């Protein structure tokens, strides 16, 4: 048993190292004072300073943020309504399985197929309205499409676990529908909604494929910028940018942990 323990622990540590090694390398070389090559030439924060003067990168960061915030807000609303609509109403079984399938589509279809479908669809919609030129608008639409499904799935599982009882009790006490929704269902649902929203937010921030296919010249996001830059030449500036993104992610995860822990401890 001891040997097994040792094996498990070693493998676990090894796996963690495997996950973090590349990221640590990026952080390490982001403060290396040399433009090319990997020889250590001294510590410098130059590359970080250059970042903040680079308008293109700042613009990309701004785009990424706007995209994530707008698409998350809309998809959370749509997804929550969808979940409530699916679970709290007596649809015939066939319809229910149909809804189920529709919601699971973005999960079981590789996102490149989704992106290809959007490109083709937008190509046609462009003839009708110039809103569908590649750009922030079409990216937001693309993001909302897959986010809605994820939000709805998360919220629905929460709805299922809440159950009917509380709402029936509220009805017995003469609650009207709006009151019921606002003061009973929604508060109970909140952890699920927040979880869904956070999931949607991360999915948008991290998204590459859908953004890649629907982006226009003005709407470059950070992932797209880094991808294009890395294919040309890898500079320490990119390392600095990546390290900053990593730090922002760590911050985000920390905040999320705090938040959910507060919610879960009554």
Partner 1 sequence: MNRLIIWYGELLTQKKLIKRGALFLGPGMLWLMIFLVLPGLILVLVSFAARGAYGEMVWEYSFDNYKRLMGYGIFGWTPDYLVILLRSVWVAVVTTGLSVVLSYPLCFFIARKPERTRYLWLMMVIIPFWTNMVIRTYSWFLILAPELPFAKLAAYLKIISPGMALYPSAFAVYLGMVSMFLPFVALPLFSSVERLDWTLVEAAQDLYSSNLRIFMHAILPQTLPGLSVGIILSFVPAMGMFVVPDLLGGAKYMLVGNLIQQQFGTSRDWAFGAAISMGLMILTMFSLYLYRRKNKGMELL
Partner 2 sequence: MKKIILALLIGLSFLSGIAWCGGGELKIFTWSEYMDEANFPKEFEKATGIKVSLDLYESNEEMMAKLQSGGLGQYDIILPSDFIMPSLIHLNLLTPLDHSKISNLKNLSEKFTSPDFDPGNKYSVGWQWGTVGLFYNKKKMSEADVQSWSVIFDPGKTPGAFYLIDSVREMLGITLLYLGYDFNTTNPKELKAAADLLVATKKREACLGFKGGVGGKNDVISGTASAAVVYNGDAIQTVAEDPETYGFIVPREGSAIWIDSMCIPAKAPNLEAAHKWINWVLEPEAGASLSNYNHYATPNGAAIPYLSKKDLDNPGVWPPPEVIKTLKFIKDLGKDNRIVDEAWTRVKSH
Positions in 19-78 near partner 1 (CB under 8 A) = 19-23, 25-26, 29, 37-39, 78
Residue 198: closest CA among 132, 113, 260: 260
Taking alpha carbons only, the member of 122, 120, 123, 86 closest to residue 103 is 86
CA atoms within 13 A on the CB side of 23: 12
* Contact window for partner 2 (CB under 8 A) among 21-29, 211-219, 237-245, 247-255: 211-219
The two tokens of residue 88 are 């709290």
Burial class (CB in 10 A: 0-12, 13-18, 19+), 125: middle
Within residues 4-33, the interface with partner 2 by CB under 8 A covers none
Q: Which of 189, 212, 213, 193 is nearest to 201 (CA)?
A: 193
Q: How far apart are CA 227 and CA 94, in angstroms?
A: 44
DSSP string, 204-250: HHH--HHHHHH--TT---HHHHHHHHHHH---HHHHHHHHHHHHHHH
2 binds partner 2 (CB under 8 A): no
* Contact between residue 148 and residue 157 where contact means Cβ atoms under 8 Å apart: no
**Taking CB within 5 to 8 Å according to partner kind, which of partner 1, partner 2, none is near residue 89?**
partner 1
Q: Which of 44, 78, 133, 171 binds partner 2 (CB under 8 A)?
A: 133
Q: Does 216 bind partner 2 (CB under 8 A)?
A: yes
The residue within the footprint of partner 2, chosen from 21, 217, 261, 264 (CB under 8 A), is: 217
d(CA 82, CA 179) in angstroms, rounded, equals 19
Member of 18, 36, 89, 174 binding partner 2 (CB under 8 A) = 36
- From 40-48, 78-86, 230-238, 253-261, give the range in contact with partner 2 by CB under 8 A: 230-238
Tell me which of 45, 69, 116, 190 binds partner 1, using CB under 8 A: 116
Report the partner that residue 219 touches, choosing among partner 2, partner 1, none (CB closer than 5 to 8 A by kind): none
Q: Which is nearer to partner 2, 99 or 212 (CB)?
A: 212
**Which of partner 1, partner 2, none is residue 174 near (CB under 5 to 8 Å by kind)?**
none
Task: Pick from 192, 204, 219, 223 the residue near partner 1 by CB under 8 A.
Answer: 223
Question: Which range binds partner 2 by CB under 8 A, 98-106, 199-207, 228-236, 254-262?
Answer: 228-236
Shortest approach of partner 2 to residue 224 CB, angstroms? 11
Between residue 99 and residue 128, which ones bind partner 2 under the rule CB under 8 A? Answer: 119, 122-123, 126
- For residues 266 and 249, what is the distance between their CA atoms, to the nearest angstrom? 27
Token representation of residue 194: 């927040």
Q: Which residues form the interface with partner 2 (CB under 8 A)?
A: 36-37, 119, 122-123, 126, 130, 132-135, 216-218, 228, 231-233
């Amino acid at each position: 048993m001891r040997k097994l323990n040792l094996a498990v622990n070693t493998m676990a540590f090894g796996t963690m190292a495997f996950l973090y090694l590349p990221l640590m390398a990026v952080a390490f070389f982001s403060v290396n004072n040399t433009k090319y090559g990997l020889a250590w030439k001294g510590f410098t924060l130059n590359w970080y300073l250059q970042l903040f003067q680079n308008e293109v990168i700042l613009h990309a960061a701004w785009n990424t943020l706007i995209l994530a915030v707008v698409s998350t807000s809309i998809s959370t609303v749509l997804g929550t309504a969808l979940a409530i609509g699916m679970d709290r109403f007596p649809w015939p079984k066939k319809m229910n399985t149909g809804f189920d399938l529709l919601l699971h589509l973005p999960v079981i279809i590789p996102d490149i197929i989704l992106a290809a479908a959007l490109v083709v669809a937008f190509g046609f919609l462009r003839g009708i309205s110039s809103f569908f030129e590649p750009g922030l608008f079409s990216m937001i639409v693309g993001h909302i499409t897959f986010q809605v499904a994820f939000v709805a799935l998360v919220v629905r599982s929460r709805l299922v676990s809440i159950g009917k009882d509380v709402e029936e009790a509220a009805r017995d006490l003469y609650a009207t529908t709006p009151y019921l929704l606002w003061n009973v269902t929604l508060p109970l649902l909140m952890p699920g909604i927040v979880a869904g929203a956070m999931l949607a937010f991360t999915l948008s921030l991290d998204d590459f494929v859908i953004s890649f296919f629907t982006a226009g010249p003005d709407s470059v996001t950070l992932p797209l910028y880094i991808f294009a830059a890395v294919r040309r030449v890898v500079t320490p500036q990119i390392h600095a940018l990546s390290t900053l993104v990593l730090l922002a992610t760590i911050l985000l995860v920390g905040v999320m942990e705090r938040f959910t822990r507060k919610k879960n401890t009554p």
